[in-house]
Amino acid sequence: MNLAEGVQIVSLGVLALMMLGSALGVVLLKNIVYSAFLLGGVFISIAGLYLLLNADFVAFAQVLIYVGAVNVLILFAIMLVNKREDFKVVPRIWIRQVATAAVCFGIFALLGTMVVTTPWAISTEVASGDSSIVRIGLHFFSDFLLPFELASILLLMALVGAIVLARREFLPEEDLTPGETEALTLPERPRELITTGRSDSTIQ
């Protein structure tokens, strides 16, 4: 065993430990902020595993998308929600916890047996390394064109949805009667509430 192989085995062990440890932390810790930060650790460790598998592009994309975008947004959402609430103690909480653990372990066992029993067609070719990005691009625009486009439409829909949810219309200043608005807020046009079908202003 030469130096490179030794480094690979050691890093595989370290990454696997890091991933399992932080994944367990995500599930088991009570503090949701810790869970969110540990989720970043899980994503980083997975990116490291991809690197060990010679999949550079996937690894960097994993860091860029999952750590840089998804995890930051999760943290954002957690930190912007300003809700301090003590959860009520549920009687016989242990039944739920045991049931959850059983279901999780069942899924793990099923997936584990599937991974072990499936005869994987493992390619013996040398990993394409740096040229993998070209091959991924070719696949995107040939045999995987439809899933690729569908995914982008999904993202577009999410984008439009976010804008519809967050959009506010501000009244122009000349329409205002003095004393109508609170201090330091811009006057907003009341929005139609989709669930009730009534105007927002009548509820107020």
Partner 1 sequence: MNPGIDLQGNFIESVKGFGIPPGAARALWLPLPMLIVLVAATVSVLVVVWLERKISAAAQQRIGPEFIGPLGILAPLADGLKLVFKEDTTPSKADALLFTLGPAIVVIPVFLSYLIVPFGQNLIVSDVGMGVFLWLALSSVVPIGLLMSGYASNNKYSLLGGLRAAAQSISYELPLALSVLAIVMMSNSLSTVDIVQQQSGYGILGWNIWRQPVGFLIFWIAALAECERIPFDLPEAEEELVAGYQTEYSGMKFALFYLGSYVNLTLSALLFAVLYLGGWEFPVNVGTIANLIGVSENTPWLQVVTATIGIGMTLLKAYFLIFLAILLRWTVPRVRIDQLLDLGWKFLLPVSLVNLLLTAGLKLAFPIAFGG
Tell me which residues touch partner 1 (CB under 8 A).
2-3, 33, 37, 40, 44, 56-57, 60-61, 63-64, 67-69, 71-72, 75-76, 79-80, 129-130, 133
Tell me the residue length of the chain.
204
Helix (H, G, I), strand (E, B) or coil at 104: helix
What distance lies between CA 1 and its chain's CA centroid? Answer: 38
Alpha-helix runs per DSSP H in the chain: 3-28, 32-52, 56-62, 72-80, 93-117, 132-140, 145-166, 200-203
Q: Which two tokens mark 110?
A: 């099923």
Question: DSSP character for 90?
Answer: P
What distance lies between CA 119 and its chain's CA centroid? Answer: 31
Name the residue nearer to partner 1 (CB basis): 64 or 176: 64
CB of 144 to partner 1, least distance (A): 20
CB of 105 to partner 1, least distance (A): 30
Name the residue nearer to partner 1 (CB basis): 26 or 67: 67
Name the residue nearer to partner 1 (CB basis): 53 or 109: 53
CB of 55 to partner 1, least distance (A): 11
Name the residue nearer to partner 1 (CB basis): 15 or 44: 44
Angle at 97 between CA 94 and CA 102, to 5 degrees: 125
CB of 23 to partner 1, least distance (A): 17
Number of alpha carbons in the 13 Å side-chain half-sphere of residue 135: 10
CB of 65 to partner 1, least distance (A): 9
Q: Which two tokens mark 100?
A: 């959850």
Name the residue nearer to partner 1 (CB basis): 12 or 133: 133
CB of 31 to partner 1, least distance (A): 9
Q: Which two tokens mark 121?
A: 């067609």
Name the residue nearer to partner 1 (CB basis): 105 or 170: 170
